[in-house]
């Protein structure tokens, strides 16, 4: 990648870019919501389309000079409709959370009851978390998981019949199993609710056929365009044929909700990059990659179980693994792995005994490792490193008192800085990464 102009005009920011490239190239990124955008996507995102202002929709702009922009947006829409098999697509949402808010704004009134999976059970903040605007303006009823970590469909139906929600979300940020879209559809129909699938994490798997599609069962689909779709940071809202059957004006309501309801001009450079990513998703090699992501996740899960780790639902159907590491110890394992060059995130587990601030699990995924070309043998090595790091931080247990926490954090920071085993693992990780460069040449 060439950043000559940045180097000349702003050496400090140029160095930031080089440092981040170095970090990504020499580390193992296991955060399941991250991806490797192609150089073509990155070039599109950095194109002069960023200069343009295009309030409105194709052929109906408020500004002139949008002939080319219109072609870009229309092509992005057509590609999205083709890969997902939907009737209508809006590609203007700035990201996933704005897309979700636009759905609320399109079909709900202030105070309407909605339903979604609770955050500590793997849901998303925009599905009704108390600190989110979605809880400030609407009345969220949250459903949860069974003891085995699967979505509690009996509870979903009971709550739906009791509260009669206007809208039901199916989707998550930390759920390792395939979503039961058909079962949710039957429940939504019983109460006349709009059913929305948030497939931000799994959109690339869905369009590749390695995860069930929600399209036959839901009225709307929202997604980010990064994560497994391998595009820029953006969002989309899709309306299905089933959605138009329920509400013939649903597509118009969505478009009006996005603009002028919540946003001004779209990010045209982002739209171009989304269009490029969707074009890449139409190629056969994308489906091969998506299958590899799932295969690697299952292999990593089995290897971790072999070391005695407890996984939520005892495995995975998708790109994601949620693993228990002991009461309140997620932060210790996350930070130590980071020092060792393995990046993932602490996360609550089903029936979390502590809190989201000091959770008892870690969340990991295989998209980036797969996109780099790694396979099952590398997954086994990663599992071995995770076990070694877990053993390194075994002496650190969750404490309760404020002063005790403060002192422990100080001791832990010094421990991470000086631990020799973590340095050894870091060197081993760097060596593996050198064999799988992200951007070749």
Show which residues are catalytic: 53, 55, 198, 224, 227, 233
Exposure string for 326-355, b = 16+ CB within 10 A, e = fewer: bebbbbbbbbbbbbbbbbbbbbbbbebebe
Place of tokens 């930390």: 174
258: which residues sit within 8 A by CB, 6+ positions away? 90, 92, 93, 99, 102, 237
Can you list the positions of beta strands (E) in 44-87?
56-57, 60-61
What gap in Å lies between CA 38 and CA 43, rounded to an integer? 9
**Closest CA relative to residue 270, chosen from 9, 49, 21:** 49
DSSP state of 140: E
Helix (H, G, I), strand (E, B) or coil at 246: helix
Helix (H, G, I), strand (E, B) or coil at 102: helix
What gap in Å lies between CA 356 and CA 121, rounded to an integer? 10
Whether the CB-CB separation of 119 and 143 falls below 8 Å is answered with no
Angle subtended at Cα 271 by Cα 96 and Cα 64, rounded to the nearest 5 degrees: 125
Whether the CB-CB separation of 269 and 72 falls below 8 Å is answered with no
Can you list the positions of beta strands (E) in 172-307?
194-198, 220-224, 235-239
Q: Which helix (H) or strand (E) holds 376?
A: helix 376-392
Helix (H, G, I), strand (E, B) or coil at 197: strand
**Closest CA relative to residue 212, chosen from 186, 238, 235, 180:** 180
Whether the CB-CB separation of 358 and 335 falls below 8 Å is answered with no
**Closest CA relative to residue 42, chosen from 276, 207, 260, 218:** 276
Straight-line distance from the first to the last Cα atom of the chain, in angstroms, rounded to the nearest whole number: 9
Whether the CB-CB separation of 332 and 412 falls below 8 Å is answered with yes
Q: Are strands 320-324 and 310-311 parallel, antiparallel or unpaired?
A: antiparallel
């Amino acid at each position: 990648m060439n950043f000559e102009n940045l180097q000349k005009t702003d050496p400090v920011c140029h160095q930031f870019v080089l440092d981040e490239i170095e970090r990504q190239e020499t580390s193992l990124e296991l955060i399941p919501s991250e991806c490797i955008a192609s150089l073509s996507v990155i070039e599109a995102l950095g194109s002069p389309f960023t200069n343009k202002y295009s309030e409105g929709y194709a052929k109906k702009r408020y500004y002139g000079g949008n002939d080319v922009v219109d072609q870009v947006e229309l092509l992005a829409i057509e590609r999205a409709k083709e890969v997902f098999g939907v009737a209508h697509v809006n590609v203007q949402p700035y990201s996933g959370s704005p897309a979700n808010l636009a759905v609320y704004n399109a079909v709900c009134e202030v105070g309407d009851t909605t339903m979604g999976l609770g955050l500590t059970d793997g849901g998303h903040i925009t599905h009704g978390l108390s600190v989110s605007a979605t809880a400030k303006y609407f009345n969220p009823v949250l459903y949860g998981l069974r003891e085995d970590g699967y979505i509690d469909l009996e509870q979903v139906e009971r709550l739906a019949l009791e509260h009669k929600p206007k809208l039901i979300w199916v989707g998550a940020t930390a759920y390792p199993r395939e979503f039961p879209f058909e079962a949710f559809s039957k429940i939504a129909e019983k109460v006349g609710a709009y059913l929305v699938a948030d497939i931000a994490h799994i959109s690339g798997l869905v369009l590749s056929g390695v995860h069930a599609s929600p399209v036959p069962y839901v009225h709307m689909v929202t997604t980010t365009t990064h994560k497994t779709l391998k595009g820029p940071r953006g969002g989309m809202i899709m309306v299905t044929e089933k959605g138009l059957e329920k509400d013939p004006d649903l597509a118009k309501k969505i478009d009006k909700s996005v603009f002028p309801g919540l946003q001004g001009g779209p990010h045209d450079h982002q739209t171009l990059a989304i269009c490029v990513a969707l074009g890449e998703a139409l190629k056969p090699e994308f489906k091969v990659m998506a299958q590899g992501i799932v295969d690697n996740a299952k292999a990593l899960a089995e290897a971790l179980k072999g070391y005695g780790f407890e996984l939520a639902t005892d495995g995975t159907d998708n790109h994601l693994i949620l693993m228990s590491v002991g009461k309140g110890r997620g932060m210790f394992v996350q930070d130590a792995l980071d020092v060792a060059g393995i990046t993932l995130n602490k996360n609550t587990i089903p029936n979390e005994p502590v809190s989201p601030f000091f959770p008892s699990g870690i969340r990991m995924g295989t998209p980036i490792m797969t996109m780099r070309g790694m396979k099952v043998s590398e997954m086994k090595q990663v599992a071995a490193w995770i076990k070694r790091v877990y053993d390194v931080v075994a002496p650190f247990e969750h404490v309760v008192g404020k002063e005790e926490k403060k002192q422990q954090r100080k001791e832990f920071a010094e421990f991470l800085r000086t631990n020799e085993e973590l340095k050894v693992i870091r060197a081993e990780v760097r060596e593996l990464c050198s064999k799988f460069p992200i951007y070749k040449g």
